[in-house]
Structure 1
Amino acid sequence: MHEDRLFPADPGERAIARRLYAEVAGLPIVSPHGHTDPAWFAYDEPFPNPAELLVVPDHYVLRMLYSQGVRLEELGVPRSDGGPVEADPRRIWRLVAEHWHAFRATPSRLWWEHSLADVFGVTDRLSPANADAVYDRIADCLTRPEFRPRALFERFGIEALATTEGALDPLDHHRAIRESGWTGRVVTTFRPDTVVDPDTPGFKRNVEALGELTGEDTLSWRGYLAALAARRRAFMAAGATATDHGHPTARTADLPPAEAEVLFGRVVDGLAGPDDAELFRGQMLTEMARMSLEDGLVMQLHSGVRRSHNAWIQGVFGANRGDDIPTRSEFVHNLKPLLDRFGNDPRLTLILFTLDETTYSRELAPLAGHYPALRIGPPWWFHDSPEGMWRYRQRVTETAGFYNTVGFNDDTRAFPSIPARHDVARRIDCAFLARLVAEHRIDEDEAREVAVDLAYRLAKRAYRL
């Protein structure tokens, strides 16, 4: 890979970007939000094969290949009904190689090629002609101790990594990590969606399971809130510093306690329509903010996506298969009930993520540029790309500055891509700062400080790591 990739074409700016990048390239990685499997680090078993490691769990790869007519069965993606799927990982790998041209100019190609080169020593571009040779090289690497999860964690220079677990997760893997004596810092994140979103299949059963787990009467409003607070404490004992909320919209509500209790009764009895469900989700965001002021957990809100848009894919393969689609988002009015109550309290940190880039300069930057409780999360998901990162800096910085953002998080299920994703973010930030220096808008010593903050310090500070 070219050493100047993603740097400006202008020679003067490129020279500045190189100097800035030299300050951040070797910094430790803080990965405060993602979806890697804690079992990898709990038991440190070898990864099974290249396809299971790099293809099957990566919904960026799945969605592109599916769009090109490759069936998910051919990629080894498990069916919900247990039906047959491709079991030969080499065949899966060959399919990726045959369609490698489809990834040209995408962030997936950047991440993959960085992973292949830096992790596995593969320096040739993937193609049908060399697919087997590349597969064999990676497969051989995976048999060695230095390619097990903990060894890679240390090799990648990861200082802290957060996984994400649901409210009903027993957290056994995190317990095993702590009891193993391994010193790598892997913490959990509290994701309560399945017990706060009435549209979740089996919602009432989930609420009852929450009661069984905590010993609280979760069919009462008081017991339900007490159970959520108890689970938050359990997550904090497993290292959690943050919560995460994946709601369809950013709507919040602040109902009087008696009205909230009546609404909960309708919801848990299955009598809530779409408006009630949305109102309840909004009320629960405000309840979570209240709890965060009590226990100190940072809040994250990921809203504005229609998950599992392809009904057939959802029915056959389940969620997280590459068929989630961005939607329009609105924050100014939707967040106001929560902000009226808690937005002026700097003890609360609410980090906002969006897939609607039109809100960056119109809504998110002005909001975060005013309310002490708000921060803007990095470009998320579809915009976790060089162009997306550049657009984000252009639209957010003029109003919110750098210090109402939270650095970078990789939000990935694909473990080997973590250093690649952070490297892309560091290069783009250095390129952006180089332009500011070249235009005499900031001095280079300031740019060096900002570059280090964006790459390392802001994430540690925002997520209290």
Structure 2
Amino acid sequence: MIDATLHPDRLFPADPATRAIARSLFAKVEHMPIVSPHGHTDPTWWGDNPSFSNAADLFVIPDHYVVRMLVSQGVPFEDLGVGAATDPRAVWRRFAAHYHLFAATPSRLWLDHAFQTVFGLTQRLSETTADMFYDAIGAALATEACKPRALYDRFGIEAIATTDSALDDLAHHRAVRDSDWSGRVVPTYRPDACVDPEFDGFTDNLARLGEITGCDTTTWAGYLDAHRARRACFIELGATATDHGHPTAATLDLPQDEAAALFARVSRNAGAPGDAEAFRAQMLTEMARMSVDDGLVMQLHAGSSRNHSDMVHARYGRDRGFDIPARTDFTGGLRPLLNAVGMDSRLTLILFTLDESTYARELAPLAGAYPCLRLGPPWWFHDSYEGMLRFRERVTETAGFANTAGFNDDTRALCSIPARHDVARRVDCAFLAQQVVTHRLSEEEAHALIPDLTTGLAKKAYNL
């Protein structure tokens, strides 16, 4: 069996002098609380505080990073517990037998970190150790110490945001609010189901939005009022942000009569080619105006061709690892929105992309000019050591640090949260150490900056 104990200097620079500075910076922030302002943990965990059932349900089945890698190597979804009832121990054994596939990936960093720091397992997961891991994790999950709220406290989480549909009843957030637990869990308004005419069941979703709010969602004015009403409900339960998963960064600012006519077409499934994209674009500007009024921070996750495989989407549903990066035009796409409200100090719009080619060419110059813009950290495929370094290298010299939004883990996998923040802190310490040894920053400046990169910028950007 292979010893997989985490090295204390992992991800730090190899040069001894630079590594010493990185160590010093990391010592300052290693144990700072975790602020997780954007993620996809299940609100049921926080509202009901259930026990996790087994290792496969915790680490494999809900994690699209894990599932997509195994599927890419020919493992059927059904063998991973997706789309079929499968013995969880068999799922785990299949995962363990293929664990070598994750070498040099961020998933391997996160998983090894969780195995060691949460469950005390320091050997390498493999076909040989699969049952030992499964049994040890299962025994731990049966204890109160591994329930979601206990893990929240154990991980040192200060605040965490879930991502919730505009149609969600938010019952679990109310349960948290009404409990005697002190954890801060807030919802995030994700209106895609009622904003994207290509979303499954769009017209039914509009009707449901009207039922929930009592607004007439057959009219443009009533539809906008329904969004305002739902946003107010989210704010009542602590929400500080919205999130928009659009395929592009396109925005429009149509005259209201033209916007109303566009809504009338898409709401009747009578849209012409291009109407769906036009409506999404118009709604980003409408949501920005609403944010000016109610203070919710906007997040735009653009540049993802979501559910790329029609077969996988039809057979296994959304979010199965088939979101693929696509070219994104931020400079032209955002111009209508920015001309409408981009200079308004009441708006904060955090931009995320999977198109790294836009970092230095578009995103950093935009954020370095418009007061409403902040740059979100690398996500999905770029939420990695190299991805984070590329982001810092290409963005910082134009936008600085203050025009970025810190780090968020953007995860469904609860036990990966401290691992992801550990990686981000180490990368930022390594980046600042390099700035110091090349005499672009003093060591005192680096020590002053690192707490902001760790939590301060995220708190500020998300009003937390």
Distance 2:401 2:305 in 1: 29
> How many Å apart are 1:85 and its aligned residue?
3.4
User: Does residue 336 of structure 1 match 2:335?
Assistant: yes
Runs of 4+ in 1 over 2 A off after TM superposition: none
The aligned amino acid for 1:227 is: A
- 1:17 is matched with 22
Matched, 1:89 2:88: yes
1:38 to 2:37 alignment: no
Aligned to 2:350: 351
For residues 322 and 202 of structure 1, the distance between their equivalents in structure 2, rounded to whole angstroms, comes to 22
CA distance in 2, matches of 1:411, 1:96: 23
Whether 2:72 is the aligned partner of 1:62: answer: no
- Distance in 1 separating the partners of 2:76 and 2:258: 48
Secondary structure in structure 1 of the residue aligned to 2:248: coil
Paired residue secondary structure (1:300): strand
Tell whether the 8 Å contact from 1:7 to 1:431 is kept in structure 2 after alignment.
Answer: yes
* Structure 1 partner of 2:433: 434
User: Using the alignment, how far apart are the partners of 1:103 and 1:352 within structure 2?
Assistant: 29
SS at match of 2:350: strand
Q: CA deviation at 1:91?
A: 1.0
Q: Is the 8 A contact 1:165 1:189 kept in 2?
A: yes
TM-score, length of structure 2 as denominator length: 0.98
1:443 aligns with 2:448: no
- 2:215 counterpart letter in structure 1: E
State the SS of the aligned residue for 2:247. Answer: coil
- Once the two structures are superposed, residues 399-426 of structure 1 have per-residue CA deviations (whole angstroms, 9 ceiling, x without a partner) of 0001100100000000000000000000
Letter in 2 for 1:43: D
Q: Which residue of 2 aligns with 1:381?
A: 380
Shift of 1:366: 0.1
Deviations 1:291-314 (A, max 9, x none): 001000000000111111112111
1:285 is matched with: 284
Tell me if the contact between 1:31 and 1:409 (Cα under 8 Å) persists in the aligned partners: yes
Q: CA deviation at 1:442?
A: 0.4
Partner of 2:78: 73
Name the residue aligned to 1:315. Answer: 314
Q: CA RMSD in A?
A: 0.7
Q: Secondary structure of 1:332's partner?
A: helix
Q: Which residue of 2 aligns with 1:223?
A: 222
Aligned counterpart, 1:132: 131
Q: After superposition, what is the alpha-carbon deviation per residue over 1:350-370, rounded to whole angstroms, capped at 9, x for unaligned?
A: 000000000000000000000
1:242 equivalent in alignment to 2:255? no
Counterpart Cα distance in 1 of 2:226 and 2:163: 19
Q: How does 1:258-277 map to 2 (within 5 A)?
A: 258-277=257-276
Q: CA deviation at 1:55?
A: 0.6
Task: Report if aligned partners of 1:252, 1:335 keep a CA contact under 8 Å in 2.
Answer: yes
What whole-Å deviation, never above 9, does each CA across 1:111-162 have from its counterpart, x for those lacking one? 0000000000001111111111111111010011111111100000000000
What does 1:197-208 align with in structure 2 at a 5 Å threshold? Answer: 197-208=196-207
Task: Give the deviation of 1:273 after TM superposition.
Answer: 2.6
| Structure 1 residues 242-263: Cα deviation after superposition (integer angstroms, max 9, x where no partner) | 0000001000000111111111
Give the deviation of 1:274 after TM superposition: 3.4
Question: Residue type of the partner of 1:69?
Answer: G
Where does the alignment leave 5 or more consecutive residues of structure 1 unmatched?
A: none
Could you tell me which residue of structure 2 aligns to residue 148 of structure 1? Answer: 147
Deviation of the 1:92 alpha carbon = 0.9
Query: What SS does the corresponding residue of 1:353 show, helix, strand or coil?
Result: strand
- The amino acid across from 2:325 in the alignment is P
Mapped partners of 1:451, 1:319: distance in 2: 37
Q: Match for residue 6 of structure 1? A: 11
SS at match of 2:352: strand
Look up the SS of the partner of 2:242 in the other structure. strand
Q: CA deviation at 1:235?
A: 0.6
Shift in Å, 1:449: 1.6
The CA distance in 1 between the partners of 2:183 and 2:305, in whole Å, is 35
3-state SS of the aligned residue for 1:392? helix
Aligned length: 459
Aligned to 2:304: 305
User: Does the 8 A contact of 1:74 with 1:85 survive in 2?
Assistant: no
Secondary structure of the corresponding residue to residue 302 of structure 1 = strand
One-letter code of the match for 2:401?
Answer: F
> Which AA in structure 1 matches 2:452?
D
| Structure 1 residue 41: Cα displacement | 1.1
In structure 2, what residue type is equivalent to 1:44?
A: N
Give the superposition deviation at 1:383.
0.2
Q: Matched residue of 1:429: which SS?
A: helix
CA offset digits 1:64-96 (Å, max 9, x no partner)? 00011111100111x2xxxx431x111111111
Distance 2:437 2:219 in 1: 61
* Aligned-pair CA distance for 1:202: 1.5
Q: Secondary structure at the match of 1:160?
A: strand
CA distance in 2 between partners of 1:175 and 1:137 (Å): 34
Deviation of the 1:315 alpha carbon: 1.3
SS at match of 1:242: coil
**CA apart distance, 1:183:** 0.8
Task: Supply the distance in 2 between the matched residues of 1:11 and 1:50 (Cα, whole angstroms).
Answer: 39
How many angstroms does 1:201 deviate by? 2.0
- Residue 13 of structure 2 aligns with an amino acid whose one-letter code is P
**In 2, Cα distance between the equivalents of 1:106 and 1:196?**
35
Structure 1 residue 445, shift from structure 2 partner: 1.2
> Which amino acid is 2:334 matched to?
L
How far apart are the structure 2 equivalents of 1:434 and 1:91?
Answer: 45
CA–CA separation in structure 2 for the residues paired with 1:184 and 1:57: 23
The SS at the match of 2:425 is helix
Equivalent residue, structure 2, for 1:410: 409
* TM-score with structure 1 setting the length: 0.98
Counterparts of 2:311 and 2:261, CA distance in 1: 36
Between the aligned partners of 1:254 and 1:319, the Cα distance in structure 2 is 30
| Structure 2: segments with no counterpart, 5+ residues | 1-5
The equivalent of 2:3 in structure 1 is none
